[in-house]
Structure 1
Amino acid sequence: MPDAREHVLDGTRGTVAVREWPHPRPRYLALLVHGYGEHAGRYEEVADVLVRHGASVWAPDHVGHGRSAGERVVIEDFEDVVTDVEAAAGLARAAHPGLPLVVVGHSMGGLVAARHAQRYGDTLAALVLSGPVIGAWETPGRLLAEAAVRGAVPKTPVSPAALSRDPAVGAAYAADPLVWHGPMKRPTLEAFVRTLETVAKGGDVGRLPILWLHGDDDRLVPLPGSRTGVERLSGGALTERVFPGARHEVFHETCKDEVFATLIRFLDTVLNR
């Protein structure tokens, strides 16, 4: 795969770093939307699969994440993040006009991608959601309730072991200097609560094809809560795949070959219509 290129956008709340994995003659565009506390660089393998499939792949670091500006992991309004994601999509379209665009969102990125689809769905060819924070996700409300009692948000960083059954994934995550390893912050928790409600009330995305990927042992974003949100979001063109024993990051799981095969089959169906 060609070396990644780096771009910088003027985002809604400061500069946004955007990574591009180029393809010499792409047949579609793929936009990767990363999760909480991480960054686009963790999606190298996903990008490689998509580039080999014919995609030009683009991925922004959200405000407060990775190489983008902002206080670490502080997101005051997810609508601004959605706007930044659309700006990254604009970069991709400017580089390759007229190609179909697929958005792939993981975890918090699934929430952002879902809201992006509600706002810009008529410009998309498909939406892929991996372990999405959507529907009934209790963590932010629970942490805010505890903060009200304690006077501070509890220190509950993401456990590397919750990401994948592959211990190398957790070890790399723990050693990554661009990953946030501290506690969640109040403005972000409050923004989560508001945006979960916004997406719940935002209506479905019509006939936009959706692929939902989830591990049935996801303890960070439990499957039943996501199901509520995904089924509400879908206008009927939903493909669902649950991976037995898989944890939160199915693209980094021990069954990732099966996950990637599922993704490619879905994209072939969508793009060959």
Structure 2
Amino acid sequence: MAQAREWEFAGVRGAVAARIWAADDPRYVAVLAHGYGEHLGRYGHVADALVRHGATVCGPDHMGHGRSAGERVLVEDYEDVVADLHTVVEAARDDRPDLPIVLIGHSMGGMIAARYAQAHGDVLTALVLSGPVLGRWRTVDELLPLDEMPDEPIDTATLSRDPSVGAAYTADPLVWHGPFKKATVRALDACLRRVDETGTLGALPTLWVHGADDRLVPLDGTRIGIDRVRGADLTEVIYPGARHEVFNETNRDEVLGDVTAFIDRVLERAASSA
């Protein structure tokens, strides 16, 4: 298993904890953006697969998440999260300016990654969106009109068909197990609208992977958003029976294989056109 090195930087709203899994002779940099309520420490197996594939992997715990500073899961403006992510990307570019950068975002991190690509797509070689919160998310639609946020724990069976995933999620002290913050719900709604209104991803090669049985971020709502941002080079893979966390699903090896095969195709095409 690849070993992570932790570092910290001054983010927009406080200290941001970040990790890097370094490859000996990397072919590219993979930047990870995690989902709501979780942290990058849950992505060690993803980083390990990417390091073995030839990547140096890095990413932050978003503000208010994991080991980063801030009130838990409070995000008042997702442009701040995008700015923190850009700091990580720029650090990677400063360290290895010769390497292409692939951005991989899951769930809320998929929304952040899509927004990042709209704002800074010129620094990316490829984008991977896993179960991204885009288009219409019923969680936001249901919570936005409420004055008080309900404290209803997530049904961990919706994460994966592998029950050990839900058990680990429940036992993880760095995972948020409480209710949404109203300001975060408003910020999610604003970011979803901003992504919709900003336009397509242009020529950026993009892979969208999603579980067909995703009950946390249902496929139909995400497809609305994908149709609004899709550019000229979109690859779509929907996994029958898979739930929300496709990187943690019972067919995780297939999913990670599809991701690395997509990256290979993009890198080979970029090299041949250089």
TM-score, normalised by the number of residues in structure 2: 0.96
1:89 partnered with 2:89: yes
SS class of match (2:144)? helix
Q: Which letter maps to 1:192?
A: L
Report the equivalent of 2:7.
7
Give the Cα–Cα distance (whole angstroms) in 2 for the partners of residues 195 and 238 of structure 1: 21
Give the Cα–Cα distance (whole angstroms) in 1 for the partners of residues 38 and 58 of structure 2: 16
How far off its partner does 1:231 sit? 2.1
Report the equivalent of 1:252.
248
Give the Cα–Cα distance (whole angstroms) in 2 for the partners of residues 80 and 104 of structure 1: 18
**2:219 equivalent among 223, 227, 239:** 223
Give the Cα–Cα distance (whole angstroms) in 2 for the partners of residues 210 and 157 of structure 1: 33
How far off its partner does 1:66 sit? 0.3
> Gapped runs of 5+ residues in structure 1?
none
Question: 1:157–1:184: 8 Å Cα contact kept in structure 2?
Answer: no
CA 1:101–1:230 in structure 2 vs 1: closer, same or farther (change >3 Å)? same
How far off its partner does 1:97 sit? 1.6
How far off its partner does 1:156 sit? 2.7
List per-residue Cα deviations over 1:94-130 (Å, max 9, x = no partner). Answer: 2212210000000000000000000000110000000
SS class of match (1:248)? coil
Report the equivalent of 2:272.
none
Report the equivalent of 2:135.
135
Question: 1:28–1:56: 8 Å Cα contact kept in structure 2?
Answer: yes
Report the equivalent of 2:63.
63
**2:192 equivalent among 181, 196, 210:** 196
SS class of match (1:272)? helix
Matched length: 269
Report the equivalent of 1:170.
166
How far off its partner does 1:2 sit? 3.8
Identity percentage of aligned residues: 58
List per-residue Cα deviations over 1:224-253 (Å, max 9, x = no partner). Answer: 111111122111200000000000000000
TM-score, normalised by the number of residues in structure 1: 0.97
How far off its partner does 1:81 sit? 0.1
1:156 partnered with 2:152: yes
Give the Cα–Cα distance (whole angstroms) in 2 for the partners of residues 257 and 272 of structure 1: 22
Report the equivalent of 1:243.
239
> Gapped runs of 5+ residues in structure 2?
270-274
List per-residue Cα deviations over 1:24-69 (Å, max 9, x = no partner). Answer: 1111000000000000000001101100000000010000000000
